[in-house]
């Protein structure tokens, strides 16, 4: 059932929720979390639909916060809260309240949301668009244990990733990160099957798709090797190529659904790697509510340290980053004997750094080589 | 699986456990279990991205099928029974590794072809020689298939690959036959490569018993003889024996259900906290409980068996067991069994565990009810608490998985009137409405080599030691009581509890 409330308050909304639940005969339900969706009129429908689908897996109270744009200065000074309360069949498996905020109250959305949170249950805040630069510092974001952004929806995804890295707080997460879970698990499974070391990596995908950068950063962060980001026509991610001491491993997907996994010395295999719906991504996000350290680590690796990224800030920094405590030789200590194994993709190794290219009389074969990390000024 | 994989990180909990390169060979692939459970489970696993690339499924049966016919059969089974939506690209991934081998179990050529098929799959699909053999076959065919696997070198693990055997209940029909079976199987497969499927243990609710007991503080302090009055474990079916006359007659409810499912549920309910959640520690605790089970001295008074008689079950007329097709009218097979046992240890001394199971009962339900003692003293007068029963925690295993807590509460508006109310946690409400099927979890565990949820040889043998004396007693004394179909069992069962001053819950 639906209850419309115009020019209302949080306490009236709470009363309407209780009334709605009584009317459908379920005074207490096992909702496991409160999901706060911050969005605009344009995206509210899609976001709510995804949340309702995800609620099949995670029954929740969904609060949709829509900040209305006021056209005239007079409207902006007036403050009004409208709410649409949905319970029962109209609200997935939980309850939904759509909050429309006009005028001044739209700057104080947290005051509306706070009284409507379920007791004790965790709170997840999801900005389907226009995430704040600092999610944890945002008044609404501060209410949540988990803050979900989507850098895919941003105007400049790569810049967005940098901002996320700067403002990262435990509990932040990104749907662009959830999008690559199947790729990550397939790549991990692929490395389970071979006994060799990865020497370098190339990740290819469409432009302006932050999932490609995130996957590349994760690989760089975990493997401690040079990772190059290449641009392809898409859709989404199209290929990951790991150059290893045993030969190349490639995971290639050209149509957004079926991928081919090629391992050295093994037959090519088809794997289903379909691009997923927003509701599935959201359901994955809600499955675990503890901080995602792997995401944090990958994000903090930094977009600038990837090869192949054209960015103004990148050139001077690339030569100066330090490998930290990583178990590899610092780049500047010795002339790097090995640029790349012979079979490495030409595009990745072509602009090999000056230090790496010089004086390598005893160049080892790829099999003898330790995994090498090297600076790669583009 | 190499442990040094730099992409694996225990903290990275989004990455699922994907089985390594492997394949599954199903014997008796045309059977009901295979069609309704195994094939859909394989598809659901693939759909959830948990199967390795190149996973192969080999069917073995007598039917004259080509690979395509087999694929079509799997396709139909998946469309009809799979839990997750059908997706073409997942199907395309699976179909590449599907093979069918035609033959009977004593046909040497067929097993030779199976060996070639496996070799071919290793080359084409990269399964790496890792295969699990799922024996979905009648108990009589077990030894033949196992011997054939040995004879044709199919059970040999070479160069780091594994070969595993998956077997279904019944694990024998008494202690001796169970021991024989174990000897037969373990002669060919190492004990840690034998997986006995008790699909109840794959259910989320059953695994949740451990979470409920050992992850919480509020239940464990009262989980003992000081507070618990008794425990009732029920598994009721509303159906009759259907077309399984040949299998069921002579086996009966106690062997079919109590020996495996109910004793396992009891072990999980009664066991001490394991040192860790790994397979050895769990098995050790379960074995201890099963070893501590004591049968009552008077088996006649503390066990009941019955046979369903003609009656109405849920609005449909049902024939009695003795009138079913293919059943000897003089059969003494039990379709209902209720037994009382005690667990003779410090925690449970004097607390009876009542186990019951039956066919054609009121409705299909499986539950564990831990019933508590009454409050030692009540400040309210007798009339106020007249309607108050005993507190209980009920773990609903199926259907409508969840937990109910029953306790007394004041009726509003009265001066003081206390009545039972229940507080409910439903899995479907608080978590996914589509939790994985038991077989998905179990098949994945087999491929991963994770034996947490599989009963071991000792557990099976201990369970037979509990049941054998009862079956022997029944053989020598009396006949099964008759109960009307659609009711909750014979009156003798009610009387059995009444003698103890208790009564069965209506589940």
Residues A169 and A192 in one domain: no
Optimal mutation site among A185, A288, A289, interface B, most CBs of chain B within 10 A: A185
Residues A154 and A15 in one domain: yes
**B317 labelled binding-site residue:** no
What pLDDT is attached to residue B230?
96
Using DSSP's 3-state secondary structure scheme, residue A355 falls into: helix
Chain B nearest C-alpha distance from A249 (Å):
13
**B238 labelled binding-site residue:** no
User: Which structure tokens are listed for B401?
Assistant: 């998985």
Residue B281 domain-assigned?
A: yes
To the nearest 10°, the Cα dihedral for A44, A60, B365, B438? Answer: 80
The pLDDT tens digits for B219-272 are: 999 999 999 999 999 999 988 887 777 788 888 999 989 999 999 999 999 999
User: Can you tell me the distance from the alpha carbon of B95 to that of A110, in angstroms, rounded to the nearest whole number?
Assistant: 52
Domain boundary among B119, B149, B168: B168
To the nearest 10°, the Cα dihedral for A322, A188, A172, A51? Answer: 160
Domain boundary among A133, A159, A175: A175
Residues A14 and A117 in one domain: yes
Residues B110 and B217 in one domain: no
Residue A68 domain-assigned?
A: yes
Whether the predicted pLDDT of A372 surpasses 50 = no
C-beta atoms of B2 and A191 within 8 A: yes
Q: Which of A56, A182, A219 sits opposite B49 (nearest CB)?
A: A182
Q: Which residues of A touch B98 (CB under 8 A)?
A: none
What number of CA atoms fall less than 13 Å from residue A362's CA on the CB side? 3
Residue B264 domain-assigned?
A: yes
**B229 labelled binding-site residue:** no
Residues A20 and A164 in one domain: yes
Domain boundary among A114, A142, A175: A175
Domain boundary among B118, B146, B168: B168
Whether the predicted pLDDT of A349 surpasses 50 = no
Q: Which of A198, A219, A294 sits opposite B12 (nearest CB)?
A: A294
C-beta atoms of A294 and B124 within 8 A: no
The pLDDT tens digits for A188-203 are: 888 887 888 899 999 9
What pLDDT is attached to residue A59?
79
Q: Which of B81, B173, B261, B382 is catalytic?
A: B261
Q: For tokens 């730099």, what's the residue?
A: B6
Q: Which of B8, B93, B432 sits opposite A272 (nearest CB)?
A: B93
Optimal mutation site among A257, A272, A288, A371, interface B, most CBs of chain B within 10 A: A272
Q: Which residues pair with A204 in a beta bridge?
A: A230, A239
Q: Which residues of B touch A288 (CB under 8 A)?
A: 13-14
Residue A244 domain-assigned?
A: yes
CB of B53 within 8 Å of a chain A CB? The answer is yes
Residue A361 domain-assigned?
A: no
Q: For tokens 């084409």, what's the residue?
A: B124
Q: Which residues of A touch B125 (CB under 8 A)?
A: 267, 269
Residues A27 and A107 in one domain: yes
Q: Which of B11, B96, B128 sits opposite A294 (nearest CB)?
A: B11
Q: Which of B6, B46, B430 sits opposite A59 (nearest CB)?
A: B430
C-beta atoms of A192 and B14 within 8 A: no
Residues A148 and A195 in one domain: no
Q: Which residue would you say has higher pLDDT here, B463 or A58? A: B463
What number is the average pLDDT over the span A243-256? 90
Whether the predicted pLDDT of A276 surpasses 80 = yes
- Enter the ipTM: 0.73
Residue B13 domain-assigned?
A: no
Q: Which residues of A touch B20 (CB under 8 A)?
A: 189, 192-193
Residues B235 and B283 in one domain: yes
C-beta atoms of A272 and B5 within 8 A: no
How far apart are the two ends of chain A, measured CA to CA in Å?
A: 59
Residues B159 and B296 in one domain: no
CATH code for the domain of B129: 3.40.50.720
Domain boundary among A275, A293, A324: A275
Residues B381 and B483 in one domain: yes
What number is the average pLDDT over the span A266-279? 85
- pLDDT band per the 50, 70, 90 thresholds, residue A118: confident
Residues A17 and A103 in one domain: yes
**B81 labelled binding-site residue:** no
CB of B17 within 8 Å of a chain A CB? The answer is no
What pLDDT is attached to residue A62?
92
User: Can you tell me the distance from the alpha carbon of A53 to that of A48, in angstroms, rounded to the nearest whole number?
Assistant: 9
User: Can you tell me the distance from the alpha carbon of B413 to that of B478, in angstroms, rounded to the nearest whole number?
Assistant: 54
Residue B395 domain-assigned?
A: yes
B261 is an active site residue: yes
Distances (CA, A) of B430 to A246, B44, B204, B249, B435: 47, 22, 13, 41, 11
Neighbour-count burial of B123, counting CB atoms closer than 10 A to its CB (0-12 exposed, 13-18 middle, 19+ buried): exposed
CB of B3 within 8 Å of a chain A CB? The answer is no
Residues A136 and A195 in one domain: no
**Least confident window among A244-253, A324-333, B250-259, B359-368:** A324-333
What number is the average pLDDT over the span A121-145? 91
Which residues are within 8 A (CB) of A316 and not within 5 positions of it... i.e. 6 or more apart?
none
Determine contact, residues B123/B17, Cβ cutoff 8 Å.
no
Residue A373 domain-assigned?
A: no
Q: Which residues of B touch A181 (CB under 8 A)?
A: 14-15
Residues A239 and A191 in one domain: yes
Q: Which of A184, A189, A288 sits opposite B52 (nearest CB)?
A: A189
What pLDDT is attached to residue A92?
67
Residues B397 and B468 in one domain: yes
Residue B416 domain-assigned?
A: yes
Q: Which residues of A touch B54 (CB under 8 A)?
A: 266-267, 269
Residues B305 and B364 in one domain: yes
Residue A118 domain-assigned?
A: yes
Residue B191 domain-assigned?
A: no
Q: Which residues of A touch B435 (CB under 8 A)?
A: none
C-beta atoms of B18 and A191 within 8 A: no
Residues B216 and B349 in one domain: yes
Distances (CA, A) of B445 to B141, B196, B360: 25, 12, 33
**B237 labelled binding-site residue:** yes
Q: How many CB pairs under 8 A join A and B?
A: 121
Residue B240 domain-assigned?
A: yes
Chain A nearest C-alpha distance from B77 (Å):
20
Q: Which of B13, B96, B433 sits opposite A288 (nearest CB)?
A: B13
% of chain A residues with pLDDT over 70: 79
C-beta atoms of B7 and A219 within 8 A: yes
- pLDDT band per the 50, 70, 90 thresholds, residue A28: low
The pLDDT tens digits for B209-222 are: 999 999 999 999 99
C-beta atoms of A57 and B433 within 8 A: yes
Residues B161 and B258 in one domain: no
Q: Which residues of chain B have pLDDT under 50?
A: 1-2
Residues B408 and B285 in one domain: yes
Whether the predicted pLDDT of A339 surpasses 60 = no
Whether the predicted pLDDT of A314 surpasses 50 = no
Determine contact, residues B114/B101, Cβ cutoff 8 Å.
yes
Q: Which residue would you say has higher pLDDT here, A323 or B250? A: B250
Residue B184 domain-assigned?
A: no
C-beta atoms of B8 and A188 within 8 A: yes
What pLDDT is attached to residue B383?
77
CATH code for the domain of B220: 3.30.360.10
- Domains: count for chain B: 2
Neighbour-count burial of A336, counting CB atoms closer than 10 A to its CB (0-12 exposed, 13-18 middle, 19+ buried): buried
Optimal mutation site among B1, B4, B5, B14, interface A, most CBs of chain A within 10 A: B14
Boundaries of domain holding B28:
23-168
C-beta atoms of B53 and A186 within 8 A: yes
Q: Which residues of A touch B48 (CB under 8 A)?
A: none
Boundaries of domain holding A200:
181-275
Residue A62 domain-assigned?
A: yes
Residues A189 and A155 in one domain: no
Residues A13 and A150 in one domain: yes
- pLDDT band per the 50, 70, 90 thresholds, residue A95: confident
What pLDDT is attached to residue A341?
42
Residues B120 and B40 in one domain: yes
What pLDDT is attached to residue A336?
42
Residues A37 and A115 in one domain: yes
User: Can you tell me the distance from the alpha carbon of B55 to that of B57, in angstroms, rounded to the nearest whole number?
Assistant: 7
**Global confidence as pTM:** 0.80
Residue A288 domain-assigned?
A: no
CATH code for the domain of A72: 3.40.50
C-beta atoms of A191 and B434 within 8 A: no
C-beta atoms of B126 and A267 within 8 A: yes
**Least confident window among A143-152, A314-323, B186-195:** A314-323
Q: Residue window 407-466, chain B: list those with CB within 8 Å of chain A.
A: 425-426, 429-434
Pairs from A14-20 (Cβ < 8 Å, separation ≥ 24): A14/A115, A14/A116, A16/A83, A16/A85, A17/A85, A17/A87, A17/A95, A17/A97, A17/A116, A20/A85, A20/A86, A20/A87, A20/A88, A20/A95
Chain B nearest C-alpha distance from A232 (Å):
22
Residue A44 domain-assigned?
A: yes
Determine contact, residues B378/B236, Cβ cutoff 8 Å.
no
Residues B142 and B238 in one domain: no
User: Can you tell me the distance from the alpha carbon of B120 to that of B126, in angstroms, rounded to the nearest whole number?
Assistant: 9
Residues B157 and B210 in one domain: no
- Domains: count for chain A: 2
Chain A nearest C-alpha distance from B168 (Å):
29
């Amino acid at each position: 059932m639906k209850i419309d409330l115009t020019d209302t308050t949080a306490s009236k909304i709470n009363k309407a929720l209780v009334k709605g639940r009584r009317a459908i005969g379920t005074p207490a339900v096992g909702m496991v979390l409160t999901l706060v969706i911050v969005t605009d009129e344009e995206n509210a429908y899609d976001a709510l639909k995804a949340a309702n689908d995800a609620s099949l897996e995670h029954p929740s109270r969904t609060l949709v916060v829509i900040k209305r744009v006021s056209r005239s200065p007079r409207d902006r000074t007036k403050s009004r809260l409208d709410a649409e309360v949905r319970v029962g069949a109209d609200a997935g498996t939980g309850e939904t309240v759509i909050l429309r905020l006009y005028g001044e109250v739209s700057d104080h959305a947290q005051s509306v949301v706070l009284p409507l949170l379920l007791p004790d249950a965790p709170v997840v805040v999801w900005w389907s668009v226009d995430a704040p630069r600092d999610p944890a510092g945002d008044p609404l974001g501060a209410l949540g244990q988990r803050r979900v952004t989507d850098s895919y929806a941003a105007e400049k995804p790569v810049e967005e990733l940098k901002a996320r890295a700067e403002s990262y707080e435990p509990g932040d997460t990104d749907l662009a990160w959830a999008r690559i879970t199947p790729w990550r698990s397939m790549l991990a499974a692929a490395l389970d099957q071979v006994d060799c070391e990865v020497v370098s990596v190339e990740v290819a995908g469409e432009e302006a798709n932050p999932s490609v950068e995130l996957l590349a950063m994760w690989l760089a962060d975990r493997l401690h090797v040079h990772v190059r980001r290449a641009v392809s026509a898409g859709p989404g991610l199209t290929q990951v190529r790991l150059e290893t001491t045993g030969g190349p491993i490639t995971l290639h997907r050209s149509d957004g659904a079926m991928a081919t996994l090629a391992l050295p010395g093994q037959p090519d295999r088809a794997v289903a790697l379909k691009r997923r719906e927003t509701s599935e991504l959201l359901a994955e996000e809600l499955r675990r509510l503890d901080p995602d350290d792997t995401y944090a680590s990958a994000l903090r690796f930094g977009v600038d340290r990837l090869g192949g990224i054209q960015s103004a800030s990148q050139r001077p920094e690339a030569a100066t980053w330090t490998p930290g405590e990583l178990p590899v030789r610092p780049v500047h200590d010795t002339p790097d004997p090995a640029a790349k194994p012979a079979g490495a993709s030409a595009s990745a190794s072509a602009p090999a750094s000056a230090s790496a290219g010089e004086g390598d009389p005893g160049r080892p074969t790829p099999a003898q080589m330790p995994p090498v990390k090297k600076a790669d000024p583009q | 699986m190499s442990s040094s994989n730099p992409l694996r990180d225990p903290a990275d909990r989004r990455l699922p456990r994907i089985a390594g390169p492997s394949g599954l060979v199903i014997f008796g692939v045309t059977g009901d279990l295979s069609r309704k459970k195994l094939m859909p489970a394989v598809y659901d696993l693939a759909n959830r991205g948990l199967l390795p690339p190149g996973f192969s499924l080999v069917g073995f049966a007598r039917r004259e099928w080509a690979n395509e016919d087999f694929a079509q059969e799997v396709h139909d089974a998946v469309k009809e029974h799979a839990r997750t939506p059908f997706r073409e690209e997942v199907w395309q991934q699976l179909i590449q590794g599907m093979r069918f081998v035609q033959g009977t179990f004593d046909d040497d050529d067929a097993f030779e072809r199976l060996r070639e098929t496996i070799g071919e799959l290793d080359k084409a699909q990269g399964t790496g020689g890792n295969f699990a053999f799922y024996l979905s076959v009648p108990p009589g065919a077990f030894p033949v298939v196992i011997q054939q696997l040995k004879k044709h070198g199919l059970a040999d693990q070479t160069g780091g690959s594994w070969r595993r055997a998956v077997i279904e209940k019944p694990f024998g029909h008494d202690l001796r036959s169970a021991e024989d079976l174990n000897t037969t199987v373990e002669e060919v497969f190492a004990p840690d490569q034998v997986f006995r499927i008790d699909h109840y243990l794959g259910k989320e609710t059953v695994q949740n018993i451990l979470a409920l007991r050992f992850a919480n503080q509020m239940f464990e302090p009262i989980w003992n003889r000081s507070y618990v009055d008794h425990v009732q474990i029920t598994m009721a079916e509303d159906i009759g024996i259907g077309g399984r006359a040949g299998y069921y007659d002579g086996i009966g409810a106690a062997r079919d259900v109590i020996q495996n499912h109910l004793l396992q549920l009891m072990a999980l309910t009664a066991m001490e906290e394991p040192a860790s959640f790994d397979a050895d520690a769990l098995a050790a605790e379960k074995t201890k409980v099963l070893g501590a089970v004591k049968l009552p001295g008077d088996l006649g008074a503390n066990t009941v068996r019955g046979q369903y008689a003609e009656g109405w079950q849920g609005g449909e007329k049902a024939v009695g067991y003795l009138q079913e097709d293919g059943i000897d009218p003089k059969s003494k097979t039990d379709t209902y069994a209720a037994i009382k046992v005690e667990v003779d240890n410090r925690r449970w001394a004097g607390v009876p565990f009542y186990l019951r199971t039956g066919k054609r009962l009121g409705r299909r339900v499986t539950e564990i009810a831990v019933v508590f003692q009454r409050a030692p003293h009540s400040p309210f007068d007798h009339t106020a608490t007249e309607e108050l029963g005993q507190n209980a925690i009920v773990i609903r295993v199926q259907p409508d998985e969840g937990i109910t807590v029953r306790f007394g509460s004041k009726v509003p508006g009265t001066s003081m009137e206390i009545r039972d109310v229940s507080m409910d946690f439903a899995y479907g409400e608080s978590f996914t409405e589509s939790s994985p099927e038991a077989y998905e979890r179990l098949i994945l565990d087999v491929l991963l080599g994770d034996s947490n949820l599989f009963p071991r040889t000792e557990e099976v043998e201990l369970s037979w030691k509990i049941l054998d004396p009862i079956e022997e007693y029944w053989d020598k004394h009396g006949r099964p009581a008759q109960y009307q179909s659609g009711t909750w069992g014979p009156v003798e069962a009610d009387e059995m509890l009444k003698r103890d001053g208790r009564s069965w819950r209506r589940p």
